[in-house]
Structure 1
Amino acid sequence: MSELNEQTVKDIATLVAQLVKEERHKQFLHEQTWRLKNTRLLLKNYDILKEHSMEIDTDIDMYLKDVFNQDDLKLRSLTGYKARTKKMMEYTDMMLKSYKAYAEKRDDAARRRYFTLLHMFITVDKLTFMEIADRFDVSEKTIQRDQKKAIEEFSIFLFGIVSLEEMVS
């Protein structure tokens, strides 16, 4: 077997570094899509999840001890899902308050994005793109862009620094 010359080694190292960079970028894009998809899904189903979480007893272990055999792993798993849903909704509500505080300190566009997110997903009486556009005297297209940007911003509140990296790239 022949030895590789120095230039060949450098070329191989450069190629490997490029392939690793491309793979990391693909993974990053996949995670970005996943976070935005999950943020949108959470907001879309906010009412259902919120109502469901209100019915969940927070002391699930006590419930299991009193009513069921603790060896029943399927039941424990189901109640674990319910407890996580309740905690997730508490966290979501806390992040909504943080997003509101953030928007209130910013410009009119940021406040309009928060309003759009709130009134299209969170409030009981949902508004349409057109209703929000009329309220702010802007185009429906502007409100559609606001909704998209609001979901991206809210994703930062939900997922933290990883989502922030997405916004600057």
Structure 2
Amino acid sequence: MGKASVGLSKKQLEIITATATKTAAEEYNKMQQGQKKKDYNWRLRNIKLLLKNYRNLKLYCDEIVKDLTILEPFLNLMGGKALDIKAMTETEVKTEVMMKYVDNVLEVYERACKEGTSEDHRRYRIIRDMYLNPTKLNIEKISEKYNTDRSTIYREVNRACETLGVLMFGMDGVEDIFQR
């Protein structure tokens, strides 16, 4: 028995190809939009995470053992396998460089806020009180200090994080704001 062959006309192939291309392009655009939203959320979360850990990271940079050779006797006792001094040094350097960058961004942000509106200036003070000062104030104390409710404080923190995102990530940070 011979196979029955069903042929498609040139016009039918063009229609199928055009439809498939259009559908693929739409799906690709949806994926791109989803990825941009994830990138925005990732950056915003990372800024908040960085702020939440700011004091600990500063302490780490201030208190870290600068001369790692004092660990050599410990390494010898452990057979040299327990610690990788090179990796520790790389982590230390990365953290210090990152924190210097963060401090520079925060200085720029502070200047911008002080030259901005009273709301901008208050927003910086809230960030400073909540995350940057050596003595941490909890949300209740900050709410009392600024005579406002907690939701306003959180909203101000989110606005500050948007601006910090622009300062930390440049044009990618600006695009994040417009993607929302």
Q: Structure 2 length normalisation: TM-score?
A: 0.77
Looking at structure 1, the residues matched to 60 and 169 of structure 2 have their Cα atoms a distance apart, in angstroms, of 23
1:35 maps to which of 28, 38, 43? 43
What's 1:14 paired with?
22
Q: 1:165 to 1:22 in 2, by over 3 A?
A: same
Alignment of 1:61-100 (within 5 A): 74-100=84-110
> Which protein is bigger by CA-based radius of gyration?
2
1:167 and 2:174 aligned: no
Number of equivalent positions: 163
Q: Which amino acid aligns with 1:155?
A: G
Which segments of structure 1 move beyond 6 Å, counting only runs of 4 or more? none
Mind listing any 5+ residue stretches in structure 1 that lack a counterpart?
A: none
Maintained 8 Å contact 1:47/1:122: yes
Paired residue for 1:121, among 131, 144, 163?
131
- Aligned-residue CA RMSD in angstroms? 2.7
Cα-to-partner distance string for 1:34-66 (whole Å, 9 max, x where unaligned): 2122111111111111011123477x8xx67xx
| Structure 2 gap segments, 5+ residues each | 1-6, 76-80
Give the TM-score normalised by structure 1. 0.82
1:16 deviates by: 1.0
| Pairing partner for 2:33 from 25, 47, 50 | 25
- 1:111 matched to 2:113: no
Tell me how far 1:30 sits from its aligned partner.
1.8
Identity %: 25
